[in-house]
Structure 1
Amino acid sequence: MNIFGRDLSRDELERRTGDLSAVAGIRQMVLDNGVERGVRAIDLRTASGLELEVLVDRAFDLGSARFRGVPLGWRSGNGFRHPGLHEHTDEGGLSWLRALDGLLVSGGLDHTLFGGSVDATRYAYPPKQTVSHGLHGRLTAIPARLLEAREVVTTDAAGAASSVLRVVGEVVQATSFGEHLRLTRTIELDFDGREIRLHDVVDNLGFETTPHMFLYHLNFGWPFVDEGTEFVAPIASTLWASDSTTQQGVSYRTLPEPQQGFVEQVYEHEIVPDAEGRNHVALLAADKTIGVEVSWTAAGMPHFFEWQNLRNGQYAVGLEPSTHHVDGDGSARDDGSMIWLEHGDSRTYDTTIRVLEGAAEVDAARAGIRSIADQPE
């Protein structure tokens, strides 16, 4: 392992400290003030300086994230609100925006994108002919069950030990006479690593055929988002863009400084996967000092949205892999693209968030993405 610039075996490190948590580790805690009071969280720290907060009571999503003290995940000002404060149906279904904060806010499990009412007769409960959804569904406000939080040590054939910080949680979204879906999320960080690995499995515990939609709202803020930051992706075409993209003169590729009254810009880009079937996108600082690359299995989430929220005081970019096109729930049912899970069916999603440090890594990430495909000006 590389520990503070030195290559040390696990044995050599253990000889130098009585508790490896002095270098890297996992700590469980409970947030205890304001709207966050009562939210269980897990703090993971690696020897490279990557710090990550897992919000157990908010769907096992990712809260604050830092690299060597520099914030990576976006903070909106909402705080990590206790799920008991969430108003799912308020504000015309847009109350999800009051829960939007942190590095990852997941959408799902039976609905993502904008809300509305859809047919529910398949659940065979006469008083419930339709079901109403808000923006990005109910998942965000469901507490998880913590299954595992520990350091996992493995040994290769040569006897060298490697260490992974692993947390596992289970989120169940269920109602009588409706969906009964389970998300099992595994999050791993290498003991000396600079990447976050997400492995999600969604399965249907119920006995009715149930719709499934899933989306990652991965949110990055300053200074990973700054004037001159470049969005890099192998783009075959842009399938959809919000009206605001033609009205404000702001590029989807290169970011400006924060703007007063900026109206969010959203794009759906058709991403070209690499030879191994993974999609790659990146945000690269203009001075090449830092960057972040996100990759995921294209088969699981074939769609991708770029969200620009560049207004004063909010200033963020969202990189959003999705199971479905921007048209959403009703359209997916009409055109046959809705995912229907039978009892016992499951879907698997694998995503990596990698922090880039220095010009060599930033340039290598850009070159690697460019080798897959270019992108329009």
Structure 2
Amino acid sequence: MDRKELLKRVGHMSQLASIQPFTYTGGKAEGVKAHQVANGTGLEFTVLESKCLDIISMKYKGMNLNFLPKSGIVAPGLADMNGTEFMRSISGGMLYTCGLRNVGTAAVDNGLNQVFHGNLKNTPAEKVSATTEWVGDDYVLKLSGEMREAAIFNENLVLKRTITTQTSAKSLLVHDVVENQGFEEQSLMLLYHVNVGYPILDDEARLLIPTSRTVARDPLSQEGIDAYAQLSAPIDGYTEQVFKHETVNQRDGKTGAAVINDRLGIGVYIKYNADALPNLIEWKSMRSGDYALGIMPSTCFVMGRTYEKEHGTLKTIAPFATLEVELEIGVLDGAQEIADFEAFMRELL
């Protein structure tokens, strides 16, 4: 339906598609600013302005797509990042951003604490803007802002984020630009923690990754490396397994992954450019109550800053240089869309 035909049928476009700002009240989420986005195609998601413009929830036609940890939404001021206390306030959701100075194991480097998965995930956005506009016959919804990770005598890194969807889409696009606004070269670690949960994740679900090489994080993960793609029902006491995949990509660097539930006829997929994010980390948590599958493009592994430095794999960004990333997160609805994505995977392999 074109723009004129659609506008004959609605009084205000927010009847179908909108970005609505709100603030959480009560409990540990008290004061967290957020935006609820609905694109009129059945896709709805919640973006946390107070936490890096990360996507805490995503639904399609009312069906949940993501994992949400037991801790729920925790305001940045209540998040304790010391030692293993991060586990009491970890964000989860459809997407949370890890970095920019550390991903994985906490460390002390050059006298500064580098907390587990970095500081960015608890950094409120600045210069936030929400817009809706017609582009031809598409109604485009856009949310943007920026986060800064900076310390005196140290880094001055800025992440500028724009999240876009439109009325004809079953997906959203995260467009990030990281800029080193300082005068010295800085290290850079970045991981997009995309977390699929029940009911998409279940014992009948399957994982699609175009891997060319897989490395386990630890001995227990090594024991399960041959079964990295095998998903199960929840298992009491299951210990997480983590793998790093080197993916097969198109000539332009495009690659992706998906979790498919054929019984429901629904899948969740990601697409991104492996030239910017060369590793795809898999977080496999089949544990009862912590039941999640992470498909996480990144510049690094999840062993932490010290590990990357010791192995010579720590990425850097020059003064006033930028790293540009696009991550598409979307829904596969029905057998044909699932088959089309599987064809995309076969082309890669």
TM-score interval, smaller chain: over 0.9
Retained in 2: the 8 A contact 1:186–1:200?
Answer: yes
Q: Does 1:9 align with 2:26?
A: no
Q: How far apart in 1 are the matches of 2:328 and 2:29?
A: 27
Deviation at 1:337, TM superposition (A): 2.9
1:28 lines up with 2:9 in the alignment: no
Alignment correspondent of 1:346: 322
Aligned positions of 1:150-299 closer than 5 A:
150-155=131-136, 161-245=137-221, 251-287=227-263, 289-299=265-275
- Conserved? CA contact 1:96–1:136, under 8 Å: no
Q: How does 1:61-76 map to 2 (within 5 A)?
A: 61-76=54-69
Partner of 1:51: 44
1:38 aligns with 2:31: yes
Q: 1:35 to 1:326 in 2, by over 3 A?
A: closer
Alignment-derived partner of residue 133 in structure 1: 114
AA paired with 1:64? S
8 Å Cα contact 2:191/2:296 also seen in 1: yes
- Identify the match of residue 95 of structure 1 among 62, 83, 86: 86
Give 1:335 shift: 4.1
Q: Is the 8 A contact 2:103 2:301 kept in 1?
A: no
For residue 315 of structure 1, give the secondary structure of its aligned residue in structure 2: strand
Q: Shift of residue 357 of structure 1? A: 0.7
Q: How far apart, CA to CA, are the structure 2 residues paired with 1:254 and 1:339?
A: 32
Return 62-71 or 270-279, whichever deviates more.
Answer: 270-279
CA distance in structure 2 between the aligned counterparts of 1:307 and 1:320, rounded to whole angstroms:
8
Q: Secondary structure at the match of 1:367?
A: helix
Aligned counterparts of 2:78 and 2:337: Cα–Cα separation in 1: 42
Does structure 2 retain, via aligned residues, the 8 Å contact 1:250–1:256?
no
Read off the aligned partner of 1:240 and give its amino acid letter: A
* Runs of 4 or more above 4 Å deviation: 246-250
Work out whether residues 226 and 256 of structure 1, in 8 Å CA contact, stay in contact via their aligned partners in 2: yes
**What is the CA-CA distance between 1:100 and the residue it aligns to?**
2.8
Q: Which amino acid aligns with 2:204?
A: G
Distance 2:120 2:262 in 1: 36
Q: Which runs of 5+ in 2 are unaligned?
A: none
Counterpart code for 2:119: R
Displacement of 1:96 in angstroms is 5.2
Separation in 2 of the partners of 1:366 and 1:238?
20
Hey, what does 2:128 align to over in structure 1?
Answer: 147
Q: What displacement does 1:175 show?
A: 1.8
Q: 1:242 to 1:332 in 2, by over 3 A?
A: closer
Q: Is the 8 A contact 2:215 2:245 kept in 1?
A: yes
Shift of 1:46: 1.3
**How many angstroms apart in 1 are the aligned matches of 2:290 and 2:98?**
20
Tell me by how many angstroms 1:304 deviates. Answer: 1.1
Q: 1:114 aligns with which of 97, 100, 105?
A: 105
Give deviations 1:150-174, integer Å, cap 9, x for gaps. 113223xxxxx32211000111111
* SS in structure 2 at match of 1:365: helix
User: Structure 1 pair 275/340, CA: closer, same or farther in 2 (3 Å)?
Assistant: closer
What SS class does the counterpart of residue 260 from structure 1 fall into?
A: coil
CA gap of 1:246–1:174, structure 2 versus 1, over 3 A, is closer
**C-alpha offsets along residues 297-335 of structure 1, whole Å, 9 cap, x if unaligned?**
111110111101111112110011110134442233344
CA distance in 1, matches of 2:221, 2:104: 19
Q: Decide whether the 8 Å contact of 1:25 with 1:191 is kept in 2.
A: no
* Greater Rg over alpha carbons, structure: 1
Residues 146 and 79 of structure 1, relative CA distance in 2, 3 Å threshold: farther
Within the candidate set 346, 357, 363, 2:333 is matched to 357
Q: Which residue of 2 aligns with 1:307?
A: 283
Give the Cα–Cα distance (whole angstroms) in 1 for the partners of residues 226 and 345 of structure 2: 23
| Match runs of 1:318-357 below 5 Å | 318-357=294-333
Task: Tell me which amino acid in the other structure corresponds to 1:55.
Answer: L
| 1:73/1:219 contact within 8 Å kept | yes
Distance 1:228 1:254 in 2: 10
Q: What runs of 5+ residues in structure 1 fail to find an aligned partner? A: 1-7, 121-129, 156-160
Q: Distance in 2 between matches of 1:229 and 1:74?
A: 15
Structure 1 residue identity aligned to 2:34: A
2:8 paired with 1:19: no
Map of 1:4 onto structure 2: none
State how far apart, in whole Å, the 2-side matches of 1:326 and 1:249 are: 16
